[in-house]
Amino acid sequence: MVPRDEGPFSVVLPAFHAHVMAGDDDGNVVRRSLTQHRGTRFSGAPLWRFTLRRDEQRRLQEEEYQRHGVPEGFAHHSGSWYRHPQQNIFWHFDTQKLYLYNELAKGYTEVHPGESIDGELHLSADASSIHRDCRARHVIVRDLSKAAQALRRPIDHLPRPCALFAIYDGHMRGDAAEDAPCAEFCARNLYRKLLARLSEVTGEWGAAEIAEALQKSCEDVDVDFLARPGSATDTDGCSAAIALLTGRQLFLARLGDSVGLIDEKLGDGSRISRVRSASDGTQGQALEQARGSGEAVAQAFGDRASKSSVDGSAGPTLVPACPDISTITLERSHCFLALTCGKVARAMSDEEMARVLRRCSGRPRLACGELVQAAEARGATGSLAALCVYFDWTEEKEGAPPSKKYRSSSSAQQVRCRQILVKHRESREPIDRVRNRPVTRSLADAERILREAIGAIEGSPQNIFTQRCKAVSECSACLKGGEMAGDLGWLSRGQLHPALELAAFSLPVGHMSDIVESDEGAHLLWRIA
């Protein structure tokens, strides 16, 4: 229980006697006489008067607090304390500071928030892969603070936005595995390890401390994976590219055969930078040759056999999964971040990847699909995966020139959209009701059809959308005549799949969405009203 803070207050009475009102442990009012004239009969004021005065004083105190501006979302808790019920964080009126309550110490710890820019920076992120059911996994946690609350690991002391993005590329020595135990293990456990470390200290965190927490979390996950029962002969492992964002600080970690790219728009053009790690040097090249499959595994997760084979001495030594962490301070000039597996990066140059990502600006699912498709066209094989995060900065000040891409924050309760729906074999109902045939294509093939449609439609949406909708859409709305083809009518909030609702209500009128996935299949939306 969080202790209640009932401050004592006094009431001035006539000279012949006085009473003090104080809060006891239960918050009840205790009335006690301090002085009384000798030889006279006591005639104090009725208790109900003190109750009225107490309530009046509390009401006046509440009005004073409201006039001085209690932070949004905080409700009165007790005394001078206010509590945010969702974040479980406290605000004190007298100090005007934020606190967390420590159950063990039975006290409050001040929260030192960093430079939060969640009102200035909006993130749009998504991923795509070919054969994703085999060995590639990705993690997108757009609001790490919310995930932390769900796990009872609050990190409200960190600046916002606070997000985690990761891509894990599984590999197995000499075997084309149909599953990815190491990639799956890392995807499910690394963010938990990280939250456990970040929530340990609620004071101020520096960049060095956050980087160390990310590094130690990687080591913890690797140790846990290698300690599993029967793992002594396990040859499974995975490479990883991990990005942790806290406010303006972006922490990028690489493990094994993976690549991180960040794009910055400068006055004389754009610059694409690749995040480097220790495995980029001579040691990494030697390990790739030893691996025989192009994987740089010296510092990858798992892969016990490859780690122990890199030591030429008589006694093999395991190389720990200890990534190099790069820290970048985000500015308005930064445009996007891309994480890819090594096969994609080897098939394309950094500038080729950057051109694709710039062309698909604001549509991360489309951009990632274009990357893996281009890599496959250049001869890359196996599990290909990419993850992209676009940084959408709000206008810096009033009167500034409008940004190239408009991001809607519409509060409308209804929108009207047309759609193209392409199903796949894992859809809720893998049957094309329009053409009365089963659907056997993969999700990757469904997305490829939509990417081709987007490329054709964008040049002349008024003329081409209807044509493409009737040709490929598997939604019954495509049977409507003329310009009504694909028209979903007026849509209200709560009527659509959450992913579709988010896309539809954030679109400006006349714009097309990114590729959106739901349990029905892959969608392309065009808002018409």
Residue 147 sits in a domain whose CATH number is: 3.60.40.10
Q: By C-alpha distance, which of 292, 507, 310 is closest to 406? A: 507
Kindly state whether residues 215 and 326 are assigned to the same domain. yes
Distance CA 523, CA 446 (A): 9
Kindly state whether residues 227 and 183 are assigned to the same domain. yes
Check whether 494 has a pLDDT greater than 80.
yes
Distance CA 154, CA 172 (A): 36
Tell me, yes or no, whether 298 lies in a domain.
no
Distance CA 380, CA 346 (A): 8
Distance CA 487, CA 525 (A): 10
**Residue 524: both structure tokens together:** 């392309």
Beta bridge partners of 20: 10, 32
User: Taking all residues of the chain, what is their mean pLDDT, rounded to a whole number?
Assistant: 80
Kindly state whether residues 362 and 271 are assigned to the same domain. yes
Helix or strand (DSSP H, E) at 90: strand 89-92
Given pLDDT bands bounded at 50, 70 and 90, which one contains residue 306? Answer: low
CA distances from 441 to 41, 51, 266, 381, 425 (A): 96, 74, 42, 19, 6
Check whether 307 has a pLDDT greater than 60.
yes
Tell me, yes or no, whether 204 lies in a domain.
yes
Domain that holds residue 443: 414-527
Kindly state whether residues 134 and 202 are assigned to the same domain. yes
pLDDT for 21: 37
- Please give the sequence-ordered ranges of beta strands (E in DSSP) within 173-316, or none if there are none: 236-246, 249-255, 258-266, 269-274, 301-302
Per-residue model confidence as pLDDT tens digits over 369-387:
999 999 999 999 888 999 9
pLDDT mean over 191-215: 90
Check whether 104 has a pLDDT greater than 70.
no
Q: At what angle do helices 443-457 and 364-377 cross, to 10 degrees?
A: 110
Kindly state whether residues 128 and 238 are assigned to the same domain. yes
Kindly state whether residues 201 and 265 are assigned to the same domain. yes
pTM, entire model = 0.74
- Comparing 50-54, 268-272, 293-297, the range with the smallest average pLDDT is 293-297
Residues 6+ apart with CB under 8 A from 112: 157, 203, 204
Given pLDDT bands bounded at 50, 70 and 90, which one contains residue 156? Answer: confident
Kindly state whether residues 472 and 506 are assigned to the same domain. yes
Measured CA angle at 152 (ends 390, 114), to 5 deg: 50
Residues 6+ apart with CB under 8 A from 312: none
Q: Which residue has the higher pLDDT, 16 or 305?
A: 305
**Domain count for the chain:** 3
